[in-house]
Structure 1
Amino acid sequence: MEPVEINAGRYYLRQLRADDRIDDRPSILDAFTDPVSRRWISHRILDLAAAGDYVALRARQWADDERCSWAVADQNTGELLGEVGLKDLDLRAGTAAAACWTAPRHRNRGVVSEGLAAAMRFGAGALGLNRVDYLFQDGNEPSRRVAEKCGFGFHRTIDECGAKVHVWTRSLV
């Protein structure tokens, strides 16, 4: 499918970019090398080339109907503030999993909770999703707050490679 831009109120959602007009790679690198982010995000990006590969990966995932991923951007400047996405898309079953991260200097401003809420409205309306799961590790309080703000409810706890992972679920119907 083709990437879609979404007006999310204070922010707008757009495709991640690395071109002559908008270059998200420095912000991606900053976020993925931040010690707090590294604790919770398993994907490693250590240089601008890897950040460019990440942007290209997200574009391929859109094209292959695997994942819808958006840069949560400032309405005025287009600056990347974070990323939200619907991954593990199963359009037949109507399910997906939520994913998100916030750039370090934009935390605690509602960036991903507002962006994720808009992404889930798109998932329900345009993709026909009926359920979205949100998984996060034990101790990741910012992710728990996002889950609560976005209407997810606790479902269960699983063990993933020795780490306790909480699974929260939200019905979209």
Structure 2
Amino acid sequence: MEPVEINAGGWYLRALRADERVDDRPALTDGGIDDAEYVTRRAAQWLSDEHYSWAICQPNTGELLAEVGLTPSAESARLSGWARTGHHDALEAGSDAVQRFAEGALGLTVHR
């Protein structure tokens, strides 16, 4: 599946990026993720339907505040995520939005 963007009210969810316009790698490092290939691997996982992940962003700056992921397995999926310090509200709102998307659009039963 191609990455899907989600509007979660006060938050904007999009695929992780590391390109000339947006680079999430500094925020990922701030969140404890130092893997240089992390963004590339997450993009490949979208295309293989192995794992879907969203950067939960501040809508007017695009800054990554948290990441939420969905790992499908048959007709269910596991929801997981992490947040940078002070941004657990973004993770909670983003997780709720991804759960609604997974259940409504993909027909999956979501487990947290």
TM-score interval, normalised by the smaller of the two chains:
over 0.9
1:63 and 2:41 matched? no
Displacement after TM superposition at 1:107 (Å): 2.9
| Paired residue type of 1:96 | A
The answer to whether the Cα contact below 8 Å between 2:42 and 2:51 also exists between their aligned partners in 1 is yes
Please tell me the root mean square deviation across aligned C-alpha atoms, in Å.
1.2
Displacement after TM superposition at 1:94 (Å): 1.5
- Measure the CA separation in 1 of the matches of 2:64 and 2:55: 6
Query: Percent identity over the alignment?
Result: 51
1:118 and 2:102 matched? no
- Measure the CA separation in 2 of the matches of 1:64 and 1:126: 18
1:122-161 CA distance string (max 9 Å, x none): 10122110x2222xxxxxxxxxxxxxxxxxxxxxxxxxxx
- Measure the CA separation in 1 of the matches of 2:46 and 2:15: 9
| Paired residue type of 2:96 | A
TM-score, normalisation: structure 2: 0.94
Match of 1:78 among 31, 47, 62: 62
TM-score, normalisation: structure 1: 0.62
Aligned twin of 2:87: 107
Displacement after TM superposition at 1:5 (Å): 0.4
Give the greater-gyration-radius structure (CA): 1
Q: Give structure 1 stretches of 5+ with no counterpart.
A: 33-44, 135-173
Matched residue count: 112
Runs of 4+ in 1 over 6 A off after TM superposition: none
1:35-90 CA distance string (max 9 Å, x none): xxxxxxxxxx43xxx2x311111101100001110000011000000000111x12
Q: Give structure 2 stretches of 5+ with no counterpart.
A: none
- Measure the CA separation in 2 of the matches of 1:15 and 1:133: 21
- Measure the CA separation in 2 of the matches of 1:126 and 1:107: 27
